[in-house]
Amino acid sequence: MRIYKVGGAVRDRLLGKPVTDIDWVVVGATTEEMLAKGFRPVGADFPVFLHPKSGEEYALARTERKSGRGYGGFTFHASPEVTLEEDLIRRDLTINAMAEDDQQNLTDPYHGQRDLEARLLRHVSPAFAEDPLRVLRVARFAARYATLGFTVAPETLALMRQLSESGELEALTPERSWKEISRALMEDQPQVFLEVLRACGALKVLMPEVDALFGVPQPPAHHPEIDTGAHTLSVLQQAALHKQPLTVRWACLLHDLGKGLTPEDEWPRHIAHEFKGLKLIKAVNERFKVPKDCQELALLVGEYHTHGHRALELKPSTLLELLQSFDIYRRPQRFEEFIAACEMDARGRKGLEERSYPQADYLRGAATAARSVAVQPLLEKGFKGPELGEEIKRERLKALKAYKEATSV
Ligand code: ATP
Ligand code: MG
């Protein structure tokens, strides 16, 4: 049997990037031989094994044929006769279809190295169209390598467009889609992921609510970039620049969805877009079975981001309602993430990226003031049940009034 490094490990070594996980392909071996060497099988369907010591993935060279819709609709053929070239041709991009032996000799039948130099994301063969997930993968790689100058080859973008128009994207499971979306959002240039999806028509299929924001104007006085889609991408870019976690990035992407519902005769204003957007945010959350923390923050940021921006003008009672809605007493981290999302929203405006955001510290101070109300003395005074709740609220309101007075000049 011959063993080769494949995929990301080869690509990233040639790019001079750190290699995190290594995928291996094994040519000329049978399942029995692998088991005899102590490899552990991963699943029943795939001829993939884990190395007994390193735990890295070793796959038998295989060919694939599409036999139906969706990811289940694949027939695999693995046997000792399958060549390295035959295994590599079923892969998505030429830069991912190179293999390397233990002497670092490169096998590169589909010119991945040439495309690395040309900074091109290009599909290996027409079989690319057999798995719609590749549309998302290419967009994700575009986001990851945008800084290095990579773009999607025009003929690959054309294939991605065909796939998007064919309805195949709808066959993707929420789990597979979310895995790509969440990884793409964590790249350095997550906005490129969305730009590429939009350019091939996939965004309209996957997240029509986001796609609808392009071409929707906002008031130039607050939003010099005007276009709501452009604004959304800038907010995401700021979130990446400021190393925000996935929850914040997801909330940034969805915070303005309500603006896509504004009747044209109301443009460029978007009255109550925060509230109107909630059902759209919920729909996107459910479509991809998004993790609960991301879902929650997206809904809260959608509803309250304008409150965040207007923090310094809010009445103490409104401020208290805001803090209560976030349950800042038990969920301090979530309120921090809300503040971060609001700040990214403010910075995601053309020419205002560097402007300070005093609302952030003001909100933190308000949360501290509300939290400083101690419950024990109220218990000692004899309050209990709903009365106790009311009294705590009154005390918190007092604390916020004092905070507002102390901080105003
Ligand atoms: P990463 O750095 O994100 O791990 P990677 O290229 O190693 O990048 P993996 O998902 O680990 O990506 O997959 C390993 C290799 O398997 C890829 O480089 C590619 O050759 C192939 N591959 C993975 N998923 C697909 C797919 N859906 N279609 C075609 N080829 C795929
Ligand atoms: Mg990998």
Q: What is the pLDDT of residue 46?
A: 76
Q: What is the pLDDT of residue 316?
A: 97
Q: What is the pLDDT of residue 70?
A: 59
**HSE-up of 337 (CA within 13 Å, CB side)?**
24
**Ligand 1: residue whose CA is nearest its atom 5:** 8
Residue 121 has pLDDT above 70, yes or no: yes
The rounded radius of gyration (Å) of the Cα atoms in the chain is: 26
Q: 211 alpha carbon to ligand 1 midpoint, in Å?
A: 27
What mean pLDDT comes out for the span 296-306?
A: 98
Q: Kindly state if the Cβ of 98 falls inside 6 Å of ligand 1.
A: no
What mean pLDDT comes out for the span 17-35?
A: 94
Q: What is the pLDDT of residue 12?
A: 96
pLDDT of 41-72, one tens digit each? 997 777 899 999 999 999 999 998 877 765 56
β-partners of residue 49 are 41, 58
In the chain, the percentage of residues whose pLDDT exceeds 70 is 98
Nearest ligand by distance to the CA of 19: 1
**Ligand 1: residue whose CA is nearest its atom 4:** 8
Of 289, 346, 323, the closest CA to residue 397 belongs to 323
Q: 96 alpha carbon to ligand 1 midpoint, in Å?
A: 7
Q: Kindly state if the Cβ of 180 falls inside 6 Å of ligand 1.
A: no
**Ligand 1: residue whose CA is nearest its atom 22:** 91
State the closest ligand 1 atom to the C-alpha of 21, by its place in the atom list counted from 1.
4
pLDDT of 180-207, one tens digit each? 999 999 999 999 999 999 999 999 999 9
Higher-scoring residue by pLDDT: 68, 259: 259
pLDDT of 89-107, one tens digit each? 999 999 999 999 999 999 9
Residue 120 has pLDDT above 70, yes or no: yes
Q: 8 alpha carbon to ligand 1 midpoint, in Å?
A: 7
Q: What is the pLDDT of residue 43?
A: 77
Residue 154 has pLDDT above 60, yes or no: yes
Q: Kindly state if the Cβ of 187 falls inside 6 Å of ligand 1.
A: no
Q: What is the pLDDT of residue 279?
A: 98
pLDDT of 343-401, one tens digit each? 999 999 999 999 999 999 999 999 999 999 999 999 999 999 999 999 999 999 999 99
Q: 81 alpha carbon to ligand 1 midpoint, in Å?
A: 23
Q: What is the pLDDT of residue 158?
A: 98
pLDDT of 133-144, one tens digit each? 999 999 999 999
pTM: 0.95
Q: What is the pLDDT of residue 38?
A: 95
Q: What is the pLDDT of residue 71?
A: 57
CA pseudo-torsion sign 191, 193, 196, 200: negative
Mean pLDDT for all residues in the chain: 95
pLDDT of 312-339, one tens digit each? 999 999 999 999 999 999 999 999 999 9
Angstrom distance (rounded) from CA 404 to CA 328: 18
Q: Ligand 1 pocket: which of 48, 91, 138, 188 to mutate (most atoms <8 Å of CB)?
A: 91
Q: Kindly state if the Cβ of 92 falls inside 6 Å of ligand 1.
A: yes
Q: Ligand 1 pocket: which of 15, 96, 124, 138 to mutate (most atoms <8 Å of CB)?
A: 96
Q: Kindly state if the Cβ of 134 falls inside 6 Å of ligand 1.
A: yes
- In the β-sheet with 48-50, what is the strand arrangement from edge to edge? 40-41, 48-50, 57-60, 23-27, 2-6, 99-100, 106-107
Q: What is the pLDDT of residue 69?
A: 65
Which residues crowd ion ligand 2, with CB under 5 Å? 8, 21
In the chain, the percentage of residues whose pLDDT exceeds 90 is 93
Q: What is the pLDDT of residue 64?
A: 85
Long-range contacts of 1-5 (CB under 8 A, 24+ apart): 1/26, 1/27, 1/28, 1/29, 1/33, 1/80, 2/26, 2/27, 2/28, 2/84, 2/101, 3/27, 3/58, 3/101, 3/102, 4/84, 4/99, 4/100, 4/101, 4/107, 5/99, 5/100, 5/101
Nearest ligand by distance to the CA of 6: 1
Residue 233 in contact with residue 284, Cβ under 8 Å? Answer: no
Single-letter code of the amino acid located at 310: R
Residue 153 has pLDDT above 60, yes or no: yes
Angle of helix 359-371 versus helix 292-309 axis, rounded to 10: 110
What mean pLDDT comes out for the span 223-228?
A: 94
Q: What is the pLDDT of residue 274?
A: 93
**Ligand 1: residue whose CA is nearest its atom 2:** 8
Q: 338 alpha carbon to ligand 2 midpoint, in Å?
A: 33
